[in-house]
Chain A
Amino acid sequence: MKKVIMPFVMVVVLAMTPYLAVHYAGLTYLFGVIIPYTAAVVLVLGVLWRLFNWLRRPVPFCIPTTCGQEKSFAWIKHDRIENPTNSLQAGIRVLTEVLFFRSLFRNTKAEWHKDANLAYGSHKWLWLGGLVFHWSLLIIVLRHARFFFVMVPGFVDFLDHADGFFDIILPTFYVTDALALAAVTFLFVRRLSDAKMRILSLPTDYFPLLLIGAIVVVGVLMRYVVRLDIMPVKDQMLRLVNFSFDAPGEIGTLFYVHLFLVSVLAIYFPFSKLMHAGAIFLSPTRNLANNSRIKRHINPWNKDIKFKTYSEYEDDYRDKMKKANLPLEKQ
């Protein structure tokens, strides 16, 4: 349980800090200007550094995991995506992983049935939960673009309308808010409800879930419960995107909690497993074509290795080879 309590306490402390600091000490400049800028810089530089740090390492061997029929004869159907032979096909494979979690869709669940029988059932919950989680967050982040532009871009209006399809309350209820909360809850409960997941999970697995959950909860509170005044928030965000260092105006304290938690997430991102967002594009088992028999893959550090040559072999066995009537290079 320590593995869950520690990150939980961390998130509570992180959420309380800006509340107390702004409410009682009035540190609006620190939490409204300095920390968000710092976080943005750390996020951008951190992600670039991590990507560079991966990309500078060579890919010595062509090691795609082939999950479909290879290209061979014209009369055998080639699985172009699961066993790509060129970069375009491999690119599609990676994109379907990124956009639709293709490999996770295969997920099965092994169970012991009576008489020591192993059975494998289809198990798409993780795929569904993960997909809903990532897509909801993406749409929510894109919706936030309305805070960064004086004129709200067209695609944001479109997302707003689509997302607010169930227009039953005021302000408009966004489906993604509910989906993100449901998905993050599912992913969290999933880690706790299964013995396998409990033993393999680390505090670093619970922390981002709790942090993202807290960000969404605070956002929902601001929008639907506290009904925070939006205009000063937009003013402040516009100042930030225009690289202005002016002090923020009067904004509800909850906003600072939201902004601070987002800043923490941004700072945490490049140094954690959240970098899987970048790694998925680089994974050599997915982004390489299975064409190493067709075209030589080059290893930049291909080491020179001394091996036992035929003539050394013949020297060792000449007499025996002679007796067995094997042709010899030297008599």
Chain B
Amino acid sequence: MSKYVSKMSELKKELDEKPSVLKGNYSHKDWWDLPVEFHDGNWCFPGKPEVLQELGFANPRKWAATDADWQLPSDWKKTISEGLQSRLKQYRSMKLFLDSCIRCGACADKCHFFLGTGDPKNMPVLRAELLRSVYRNDFPLVEKILKGFSGARKLTPEVIKEWHMYFNQCTECRRCSVFCPLGIDTAEITMLVRELLNLIGVNNNWILGPVANCNRTGNHLGIEPHTFVQNIESLADDIKELTGANVSPTFNRKGAEVLFITPSGDVFGDPGVYTMMGYLLLFHHIGLDYTISTYASEGGNFGMFTSNDMMKKINAKMYHEAKRLGVKWLLGGECGHMWRVVNQYMSTMNGPADFLEQPVSPVTGTRFANAAATKMVHIAEFTADLIHHKKLKLDPKRNDHLRTTFHDSCNIARGMGMFEEPRYVLRNVCNTFHEMPENTIREKTFCCGSGSGLNAEEYMEIRMKGGLPRAHAVKYVKEKHKVDSLVTICAIDRASLTPLMKYWNPCVAVYGLHELVGNALIMDGEKKRTTDLRENTMAGFEDGGDDEE
């Protein structure tokens, strides 16, 4: 399927042969002596020099992780040291998380990358030790006296390589932090180390490319305004053809009640576009007064995977555009990390949004008190409220050709805690829904393996390994309940679970929640529906057949 990963049967055999979770024999070895080896499939292409120049980032050059010399700037050590010190002053979390780990090992087998690779340095505790060992050498006095006792080491180019490898085998999913008795969050450490690595030009083009695009064109995919409009209009044409409904989205329209922002993957990528069609159908169905911006045309935020400054810069467009257009509140599409940013960072970074009003659903009158400060509502909350008030005409039988399960995306689960709303919507738009095993859903959900900007083709081996725990949970419901549809509320999931399923569980397709909503919506004056939004035949609605019970 990709030249960057071996065949599924080979990988499976490899896993079968070594039945323990930790792969390899490490007796009489210390983790800091283990070599760091880059090969095809386990490193992402570095940021292109022109992308770095565009962003004003350090050390633009041509290089590869497999090079012996990474051409670090001459003062790289000082940059990292000072960068770490200044961040320790800014973030209590960082200082606490570096100081307080007791290495109890509760996190060890909770990480999807550890479970998929069996590599000891993928145990969250050791991932953090990669930084802690250097921090200890630089800082507390007592550790200096007792060197060798506390696991302190010097900062060398080898350490930088190790950081690049292992802080890019962390998707900032926070699963380890659920189990940590001290609440240590490896995502926080990964975010900081990636920030530090960017200061010396150690980076990932799959992250920095979209960041530069987003800054320039308003969205990660680099879609310019006219193409953005064309694309959504062509989706509207498809909707017209399929359902007869005349959805007519507006763009950059001043005075609309709501500004709708969703990841650009929904506008351009398969299968995200079907989710976009679902949104358009829904808004038309309820007559929502909304507009879409070509400038704030990105819900996602790859700045988050770069540095907190970049996160703020990219996120700033949302409020800026909302103010310019004079809308009352914001409605956000299905996306994982976008919602971690919106929930935990947006108002702090770019607020207060006092020029907006507390969101009120124009259809049900529900006041979204939980969005009182941010003034941004999640589409799943919005739809759940509509369904609860019976404001949607739905025919869940139209999804009878799908047997679904639901994947909680990491950031929605552990950076927000929205579990029930999407399930409520799903149960109301489709008749067959089976949960994956308890330890793999909700706050214990497993990452798709490609989050936090690791969705690169050349990274396929690590992605397929990292996604393995999720794939196994899907396999379980596939075998037990004949599940064939994996529903998510995350754009990265839609893009990354598709190849993951193709690899581990062929025949399982990936859907956005609102695609299923779109399938089930009975539109006014619609024509007879025989296919879903993907133009797959719906069970019981075939041409010539009748749709009676």
Write the residues of chain A forming the contact surface with B, with a CB cutoff of 8 angstroms.
1, 3, 6-7, 50, 53-55, 57-63, 65-73, 75-77, 79, 82-83, 97, 101, 103-104, 106-112, 115-118, 120, 126, 130, 194-205, 207, 271-273, 275-276, 279-280, 282-286, 290, 292-299, 301-303, 305-310, 313-314, 316-317, 320-321, 323-324, 326-327
Contact residues in B for A301 (Cβ distance below 8 Å): 90
Tell me if B182 counts as interface (CB < 8 A to partner A). Answer: yes
Contacts of A62 in B (CB 8 A): 344, 348
Complexed CA–CA distance, A204 and B416 (Å)? 36
Q: Once the chains bind, are B179 and A60 in contact (CB under 8 Å)?
A: no
8 Å CB contact of A63 from B93, B324, B371, B439? B93
B104 within 8 A of A: yes
* Contact B372–A106 (Cβ < 8 Å): no
Main secondary structure of the interface of B (DSSP, over half): helix
B472 contacts A196, CB within 8 Å? no
Residue in A195, A294, A303, A323 whose CB lies within 8 Å of B26: A195
B316 at the binding interface (Cβ < 8 Å): yes
Q: Which residues between 360 and 414 of chain B lie within 8 Å of chain A, taking CB atoms?
A: 366, 369-374, 376, 381, 384-385, 388, 413-414
When the two chains form their complex, are residues B348 and A67 in contact, meaning their CB atoms are under 8 A apart?
no
B420's partner among A76, A107, A280, A305 (CB-CB below 8 A) is A76
For the complex, is B215 an interface residue (Cβ under 8 Å from A)?
Answer: yes
**Provided the pairs A71-B370, A117-B472, A284-B96 are in contact, do residues A57 and B90 lie with their beta carbons within 8 angstroms?**
yes
Selected A-B contacts with CB under 8 Å, 13 pairs = A58-B91, A65-B177, A120-B437, A130-B104, A130-B181, A200-B31, A203-B149, A283-B182, A285-B184, A292-B348, A293-B370, A296-B348, A301-B90
Complex CA–CA separation, A6 to B146 (angstroms)? 11
Contact of A326 among B22, B89, B225, B312 (CB under 8 A): B225
Interface residues on chain B, size class: 35 or more
Find out whether the CB atom of B179 lies under 8 angstroms from the CB atom of A104. yes
* Chain A CB within 8 A of B314 CB: yes
Q: Are A294 and B370 in contact (CB under 8 A)?
A: yes
| CB proximity to A under 8 Å, residues B204-237 | 215-216, 218, 224-226, 229-230
Across the interface, which residues of A come within 8 angstroms of B140, CB to CB? 271
CA distance A91 to B291 in the complex (A): 41
Contact A308 B416 (CB under 8 A): no
Nearest Cβ in chain A — how far from B313, in angstroms?
Answer: 5
Decide: B321 and A273 in contact? CB cutoff 8 A: no
Complex partner residue of B309 from A7, A50, A59, A305, CB under 8 angstroms: A305
Question: Could you tell me if A196 and B103 are in contact, using CB atoms closer than 8 angstroms?
Answer: no
Other-chain contact of A290, B309, B351, B381, B416 (Cβ < 8 Å)? B416
Q: How far is the CA of A130 from the CA of B369 in the complex (A)?
A: 40
Q: Given the complex, which residues of A lie within 8 Å of B183, measured CB to CB?
A: 65, 97, 103, 280, 283-286
Pair count A-B, CB < 8 A: 313
B439: chain A residues at CB < 8 Å are 108, 120
Cα(A273)–Cα(B142), bound, Å: 12
A292 touches B347 (CB 8 A): yes
On chain B, the residues within 8 Å of A101 by CB distance are 181
In the complex, what's the smallest C-beta–C-beta distance from B318 to chain A, in angstroms?
10
Instruction: A290 to B351: give the CA distance in the assembly, Å.
Output: 17
CA–CA, A118 to B468, complex, Å? 9
Contact between A118 and B469 (Cβ–Cβ < 8 Å)? yes
Residues of the B chain whose Cβ atoms lie less than 8 Å from the Cβ of A205? 102-103
- Residues of B near A117 (CB, < 8 A) are 472
Q: Given A101-B181, A130-B104, is A57 in contact with B417 using a C-beta cutoff of 8 Å?
A: no
Given contacts A203-B151, A280-B183, 20 further A-B contacts (CB under 8 A): A59-B93, A65-B183, A66-B414, A73-B366, A73-B385, A76-B384, A103-B180, A116-B12, A126-B105, A203-B150, A276-B102, A279-B100, A283-B184, A295-B372, A296-B348, A302-B348, A306-B313, A307-B317, A316-B216, A321-B225
Partner of A67 from the list B105, B108, B215, B414 (CB cut-off 8 Å) is B414
Select from chain A the residue with minimum beta-carbon distance to B368: A72
Chain B residues closer than 8 Å to A317, beta-carbon distance:
224-226
Known: A313-B295, A326-B251. Is A292-B373 also a contact (CB below 8 A)? yes
Contact B31 A199 (CB under 8 A): yes
Complex-state Cα separation, A307 to B105, whole angstroms: 42
CB-based contact B416/A70 at 8 Å: yes
Task: Give Cα A327–Cα B419 distance, bound, in whole angstroms.
Answer: 39
How distant is the Cα of A200 from the Cα of B31 in the complex, in angstroms? 8
